[in-house]
Amino acid sequence: MQTMIKISSPYFISPENLPEPEGWSAAFGADRPLALEIGCGVGDFIANTAVDCPDTNIIAIDYYNKGCDSTCRRLERHGVTNVRVSRVEAREFISSHIPKNSLSAVYINCPDPWPKKRHRKRRLVNRWFVEFIRDYLAQDGALFFATDFEDYGIDVAGMMPGIAGFENMLHPDLYRHELAGYHLSKYMKKFMAEGKHIYFIHYRKI
């Protein structure tokens, strides 16, 4: 069971205070394009990405309370103001709180790979989820997926060309082990330092 840390950061939105789908501009105090990170970890990736994208409102979500707290603390230390953090389950959150055709980008970095074969149906990124998230991406909206787990990366890379409504931005490659301009999380750096590969996949909605 998670130890629930009380998060008092102005960047944290508790589940009961999440805005309705059309209320994000008010939550950020600015009407700007909206992006989403699913699984923010300790916040290093999204803090750096937000600095690069000051004209984007970014929602960072995670199921783990400790990760949300760490993300908020990191944002505060770096003076990043265009991110809001919440502890929620991704699919329920998106369907209840995100307007369709609104997301300029979705970032999914190193989600739980559920390595045992009997558990792989629990993986977040599968055909159903990609078709689901497609409805929430804006035209030309970017979908980024990264994993350190070879089987997961190859499965998603092989699946994506068969899903309508997307263009592979890494063509002719299905995946790459480096992605220029894409910030690395602490978790990614750890695995790369051990000589392991990250599988990067990048598509856009067409």
Q: Which residues are catalytic?
A: 112
Residue from 77, 98, 100, 101 nearest 86 by CA: 98
Neighbouring C-alpha atoms within 13 Å toward the C-beta of 46: 36
Structure tokens at 130: 């990609």
The helix (run of H) or strand (run of E) holding residue 83 is strand 83-87
Cite the DSSP H helix spans in the chain.
Answer: 24-28, 44-52, 65-78, 90-97, 127-134, 150-159, 186-193
The helix (run of H) or strand (run of E) holding residue 175 is none
For the chain, how are helix, strand and coil distributed in percent, rounded to 5? 35, 20, 40
Structure tokens at 99: 């307007």
